[in-house]
Chains A and B, each alone.
Chain A
Amino acid sequence: MSDTTYTGVLDLAAGAFLLVAVLIVWRRDLRATVRLLAWQGAALAVLPFSEGVLRHEAAPIVVGLAILVLRGGVLPVLLGRAVSTEPRERRESAPLVNTTASLLVVAALTVLAYAVTRPIIALSPTPTTRAVPAAFAVILIAVFVLVSRRRALSQAVGFLMLDNGITATAFLIAAGVPLIVELGASLDILFAVIVLGLLAGHMQHTFGGTDLDQLRELRD
């Protein structure tokens, strides 16, 4: 793989990564957002994979494959199983910020991400660091999803997106994370999602819904 092809693949993957985050904000159907999350995982996996192919190293390729399996497959499937079959539960209830406003907020966040990461790019202007703003924008968008959604599962999607964004930023800035660190972080995420899925299931069983706004206080 040549350098220009690598730059092209990297830009395309980073762009798709950001685009999927935007689409997650746009869509309200929980199943659709979970499917989109799988695509985001796949786009994330391309980053270390292409780097490994470029440098002929095995470790980034292994990391890429692990990310593809975990974030493109296992986690979305786990979340997808937690999406209730009840039609009322399948859609996000009216969000705190309406869709038009959230899309504009996302636009502002993207610009903010570019503004904030300028010093990082100035440190070493390579194709890899140039894609950092896309990953950073995903982090900001994920935080926005976390605070503006009401259903437990949409917040779990936001949480996973946040982690995807952090991982992507780490890859792009540090040109790869040690394999052992990546595996540890992934294992953490896996357990977190399993616990979140269990909790959502319990909430639904006990209260008949996962709308977090209705949970005003904790009782014994």
Chain B
Amino acid sequence: MNALAAVGAVVQVGGVLAGAPFVVGGMKQVRARLEGRSGGGIGQPWRDLRKQLRKQQLRPTGTTVVFRVAPAVAAGSALLIAAIIPLVTLGSPLDSSADLFGVVGLLFLGTVALTLAGLDTGTAFGGMGSSREITIAALVEPTILLAVFALSLPGHSANLAAIVSAASGDPAQALALGSVLAFVALVIVIVAETGRLPVDNPSTHLELTMIHEAMVLEYSGPRLALVEWASGMRLTVLLGLLANLFLPWGIAGAEPSLLGLLVGTAAIAVKVAVLALALAAVEVFIAKLRLFRVPELLAGSFLLALLAVTASSFLASAR
């Protein structure tokens, strides 16, 4: 590991911090354009964040420290994931400290923090949102673990850098049946985990459809800004991880050069942008699923992940 690898990790964290609002803004803009509206522009989430960060700090009566620290925990876990996973370079100094299972745990930590904060307010909406969120999280978790298992089979390791370098060493691997199934399962899981359509509608405050929004209803001002920033960062980090697990083009190696870092940064920015825009474009054409049919979708993704494991362990072991 050299000093540039550490610079790469810093670039990853900074890029996710600065880029997440643009990813959210870009998705909103694509949606607005496809629906025939002019939209607020890509920079609108940044302007919203600036406005909210200037507001007065309010604390609902009766809330405890859980409510106050939850946004920081959510944002912190997302940033820690951004530092660990190979987005720009394979040689992040923190890479050896956590494998893909660790990353999944960190992701769940952020979810649990916000869920507890929703319960802490003691309002009906907060409790309802928390109960729905934790239901979905509990269904998502086994799918992620199975998909991770399927992905770690070709590289013989659950370490993220090992998986990504195995994928870049053998590009045909991305088209193998196991990888394709794991990709579909992971896309469904990411959609559910970040509260996008068809599992949750991020742009509504309707009682019947709320999941994430119901949980954070009591937040305002700087804390709301942090919660929204954190959810944007989660989305960005997950899309980046998805892109690099399956199509690791352009990523800098474990001993990156300055040029490698630049290429890696540009590559991940383009990949995340393409994935986010594609997700937003698809979302225009689908409606939200009824809450009681969400388990059906998640059971389907679980099955796909299971098939991915069987396909990559049984069929491919001949090679």
What is the 8 Å Cβ interface bit string for chain A, positions 25-43, against chain B (1 contact, 0 not)?
A: 0100000000000000000
Residue A84 interfacial (CB < 8 Å) = no
With contacts A19-B181, A110-B306 known, is A103 near B318, CB below 8 A?
Answer: no
- How many residues from B make CB contacts under 8 Å with A? 20
B178 to A: closest C-beta gap in Å: 8
With contacts A11-B177, A99-B296, A114-B310 known, is A107 near B318, CB below 8 A?
Answer: no
With contacts A15-B177, A19-B307, A110-B306 known, is A103 near B300, CB below 8 A?
Answer: yes
Binds B, one of A51-59, A125-133, A190-198: A125-133
Option from A106, A107, A110, A130 in Cβ contact (under 8 Å) with B315: A130
Option from B299, B307, B315 in Cβ contact (under 8 Å) with A100: B299
Q: In the complex, which residues of chain A have a beta carbon less than 8 angstroms from the beta carbon of B295?
A: 100
- Contacting pair A15 B316 (CB below 8 A): no
B residues apposed to A, CB below 8 Å: 176-177, 181, 295-296, 299-300, 302-304, 306-307, 310-311, 314-319
A194 to B277 CA separation, bound complex (whole angstroms): 48
A residues apposed to B, CB below 8 Å: 4, 7-8, 11-12, 14-16, 18-19, 22, 26, 98-100, 103-104, 106-107, 110-111, 114, 125-127, 130-131, 133-134
- Contacting pair A11 B315 (CB below 8 A): yes
- Contacting pair A11 B316 (CB below 8 A): yes
- Contacting pair A103 B314 (CB below 8 A): no
- Contacting pair B307 A4 (CB below 8 A): no
A26 to B218 CA separation, bound complex (whole angstroms): 39
- Contacting pair B302 A12 (CB below 8 A): no
The 6 closest A-B pairs by CB, nearest first: A15-B177, A103-B299, A11-B315, A100-B299, A127-B318, A99-B296
- Contacting pair A22 B315 (CB below 8 A): no
- Contacting pair B318 A22 (CB below 8 A): no
Option from B302, B307, B318 in Cβ contact (under 8 Å) with A15: B307
- Contacting pair A110 B318 (CB below 8 A): no
